[in-house]
A = this chain, B = another copy of it.
Amino acid sequence: MTTDNLRSEIQKKKSFLCIGLDVDLDKIPKYLLEQEDPIFEFNKAIIDATHHLAVAYKPNTAFYEAYGIKGWKSLQKTISYLNEAYPELFTIADAKRGDIGNTSSMYAKAFFEDMAFDSVTVAPYMGKDSVEPFLEFKSKHTILLALTSNQGAFDFQTQNIEGVELYKKVLETSKSWENSENLMYVVGATKAEFLSEIRNIVPNSFLLVPGVGAQGGSLEEVCRYGMTSNVDLLINSSRGIIYASNTTDFAQAAAAAAETLQLQMKAILNAN
């Protein structure tokens, strides 16, 4: 999917919501555990109930890997379902991969070819040749970790590196990489005040923003500092939506939680 497709979808739905599918068997409704593939059934119900309110879905691979081959199958079924039933949705493998060149090529193949995700999150620590293999794929997107939403972001990312914070150095450096037009960036909502400076460096890139909701970030603040005339934001919410209820009404509860966010987004879009 191209960024133009994604921008159109945002305007059409008046939403830039991304729903994180971080499915923990201990947190989903108990009655689903009797199903053959409880994770997929949970995801399918959430997607069916919320697809008109969101533009993107982001399974976090850790939650699938933790269940071994069964989990990996649930992930495959989830991405296949998203691509078949709702091809207009942007899909993100939140995998935070990154390795030497020939290895990153294998990860790119795994997520872009084998599973046909539109994008994958990648960690920048290993530099240019660990990221460029992902960028080679046309109409696929590499979402580079810049400033994450957790406390540990202050350990290294915000440290000064030759006069500039590491995350800014990452943003600036990444712009010189081949096919850098395929880059997007992760910027945590919990650090919304950093967004205006980030926009000075990457004025037109999509930013994937986790941390609204459960982690305490504010939607209004993120939009004030991070939104462009084309929006260029994907605001992720995981636990706040998918675990809105853990009984038989979980999908409707998720839709209600998603709609609350979507209506806030619509109001912001209409005011701009």
Q: Is the CB of B103 within 8 A of A129?
A: no
Residues of B within 8 A of A128 (CB): 151-152, 155
Within the assembled complex, what's the spacing in Å between the Cα atoms of A85 and B106?
28
Q: Is the CB of B66 within 8 A of A109?
A: yes
Q: Is the CB of A69 within 8 A of B73?
A: yes
A110 within 8 A of B: yes
A263 within 8 A of B: no
Residues of B within 8 A of A126 (CB): 96, 123, 145, 148, 150, 152-153, 157
Pick the interface stretch among A3-11, A38-46, A57-65, A192-200: A57-65
Residues of B within 8 A of A127 (CB): 150-157
Q: Is the CB of B125 within 8 A of A156?
A: yes
| Size class of the contact patch on chain A | 35 or more
Pick the interface stretch among A28-36, A48-56, A160-168, A249-257: A160-168
Q: Is the CB of B98 within 8 A of A123?
A: yes
Residues of B within 8 A of A72 (CB): 68-69, 72
Q: Is the CB of A129 within 8 A of B100?
A: no
A170 within 8 A of B: yes
Within the assembled complex, what's the spacing in Å between the Cα atoms of A125 and B130?
14
Residues of B within 8 A of A130 (CB): 150, 152
Nearest-Cβ distance from residue A222 to partner chain B, whole angstroms = 17
Q: Is the CB of B156 within 8 A of A166?
A: yes
Nearest-Cβ distance from residue A128 to partner chain B, whole angstroms = 5
Q: Is the CB of A98 within 8 A of B101?
A: no
Q: Is the CB of A107 within 8 A of B65?
A: yes
Q: Is the CB of A110 within 8 A of B159?
A: no
With A126-B145, A129-B150, A152-B129 known to touch, is A97 a contact of B62 (CB < 8 Å)?
yes
Can you list 13 A-B contacts with CB-CB less than 8 angstroms, sorted by A residue number?
A65-B107, A96-B97, A96-B126, A100-B149, A123-B125, A127-B150, A127-B151, A127-B152, A127-B157, A129-B151, A130-B150, A131-B152, A156-B169
